[in-house]
Every structure is written in C-alpha cells, then in structure tokens.
Amino acid sequence: MKIITKKTTDLRGFDFNEGVVILMNKPIDWTSYKVVDKIKKILKTKKVGHAGTLDPLATGLLILCTGKMTKKIHEFQNLLKEYRGKIYFGKKTPTMDRESFNDSNGTNDISYLSLGLIRETAKKFVGEIEQIPPVHSAVWINGKRAYELARKGKEVNLKPRKAFIESFEIFNYEPPLADFVVRCSKGTYARSLANDLGDSLGCGAFLYELERTAIGEFRIEDAITVNELIRLSKESKN
C-alpha cells in the first residue's frame, strides 16, 4: 500500500490509477467533497474517494483513496476514529455546532456545572449507544440530504442509530467550554454527542470545535495539507 503523508518529498513513482492512500489534513470551512474535488484536479485523476465525512467546520484527518484503492475505502471506514474538540455548555443551536450560533439562541444556567459532574455524566455515553443524527447532516431521506430539507424549513424526522463509544474524556473545563477527546466507531456524530451530553446535564450544549486526530493507526501528525500537495505536484513535474 502506497501512502502519501507530510513526509513525502516526491510524487514521482506514485501510480494514482493503480491506487494510492493520502493522509489529508482537511482545512476548516471545506467540505469533504471539496477536498476530493481539489485532489482530483491536483493529481489529474478521476477516481478519488474519502473514508469518512468531516463537517465543514471540522478539521483534521481525512483519508483519501485513489484508483483501485477506492475499493478498500470501507476498510478504513470501519476503523475506530479519534476526535478532540470543545463543547460549549448552556446553549443549544439548530445545527448542534457553531454554524448556527448566535446570541438569540438563549442561555441556560450553568453555575452548577463542574468538571467532576461533566466527567461523571460523560461516562453514561461510553459503550454501545443510540443517537439521533443532527437534522443538519448528510443522511439520506427519500433521495434528499437531511440538511437540504432542514434548510428549507421542512420537518426532518431521523431515527436513532447505534454507535460505539470506546472512550469519552472531558478535561480542562473553563465555563462555558470544556475540552474533550472521544474514540468512537464509524457513524458516530460528535455534534449529537455534545448535544446529548448537554441535555443529560440539563443545560444544553453544542459542539464548538472539532478535529479528527486519528483513524485506526493513522494520525493527524502525519497528514499532508492541500497546499503541500500542490507544491509536491508542481515540483514533480519539473
């Protein structure tokens, strides 16, 4: 398996039709689809896929497969994923993250919260759980994405889905924000996890910041940026 990481110094020798794995560091405000489309243009190859969507406001590790390696995308999707980020307590937002945050969302009392209480409540979410995906998500409903319906003001009813949380650690609570690290299965929504934790604590919460730091043994520290890949591509043509 040939892998492109931030340590890669030359793209010559890589056959993108035969199949290459790219550890990509997704920038904020980019959709996962935009990253895929950009890589297709940089590498001048038509077949590129990713092994797990990241929301536009999320950053971090996005595994891309080209050519024949796209047939093995499911193997990467099935690996445990690790995320780190921040949860904002005392407010709820329609998108369950910062995208729809504003001062009119309303503020709830969080004076009773403590790091110990949040940590103890977070333990309830470790193991196999059921969670409802955010209505502003890419889940398909009768041929339409859920977020497309939600943005049009239509009612979106999503059924609970099973997810597995290996660990959910809360640390460094400075009201209203707490840092967290979670290791979880595919299909887990960090936005739903933050929302449900806030509901369990009785004050509401939303996902303020998120970075995917690992997929299986693959780490964000080894991921290449889009700009670095562009530079390598130009240098390899000289």
- Pair 57, 117 in one domain: no
Q: What angle do CA 194, 196, 198 make, to 5 degrees?
A: 70
- Pair 156, 138 in one domain: yes
* pLDDT score at 132: 79
- Pair 61, 114 in one domain: no
Inter-residue contact 221 to 208 (CB < 8 Å): no
- Pair 209, 224 in one domain: no
Q: How many structural domains are present in the chain?
A: 2
User: 26 burial class (0-12, 13-18, 19+ CB within 10 angstroms)?
Assistant: buried
Q: Which residues pair with 166 in a beta bridge?
A: none
List the domain range (segments joined by +) for residue 152. 81-215
- Pair 20, 108 in one domain: no
For residues 180 and 25, give the distance between their C-alpha atoms in angstroms, rounded to a whole number.
20
* pLDDT score at 149: 56
- Pair 8, 53 in one domain: yes
From the first residue on, what is the mean pLDDT of each consecutive set of 10 residues in the chain (238 residues)?
95 92 97 95 94 93 97 95 98 89 79 98 97 68 60 68 96 97 94 96 97 98 97 85
- Pair 116, 72 in one domain: no
Inter-residue contact 193 to 180 (CB < 8 Å): no
Q: What does the block give as tokens for 146?
A: 């859920």
Inter-residue contact 5 to 223 (CB < 8 Å): yes
- Asked if 55 is an active-site residue, the reply is yes
Going through 18-110 in order, the beta strands assigned E by DSSP cover: 21-26, 48-50, 59-66, 81-89
- Pair 104, 192 in one domain: yes
15, 29, 37, 55: which one is catalytic?
55
CATH code at position 159 = 3.30.2350.10
Total-model pTM: 0.91
- Pair 37, 101 in one domain: no
Inter-residue contact 92 to 206 (CB < 8 Å): yes
**Sign of dihedral through CA atoms 81, 83, 88, 92?**
negative
C-beta neighbour count of 157 within 10 angstroms:
8
Q: How far is CA 144 from the centre of its chain?
A: 21
- Pair 206, 225 in one domain: no
- Pair 114, 221 in one domain: no
* pLDDT score at 160: 80
* pLDDT score at 143: 64
- Pair 121, 183 in one domain: yes
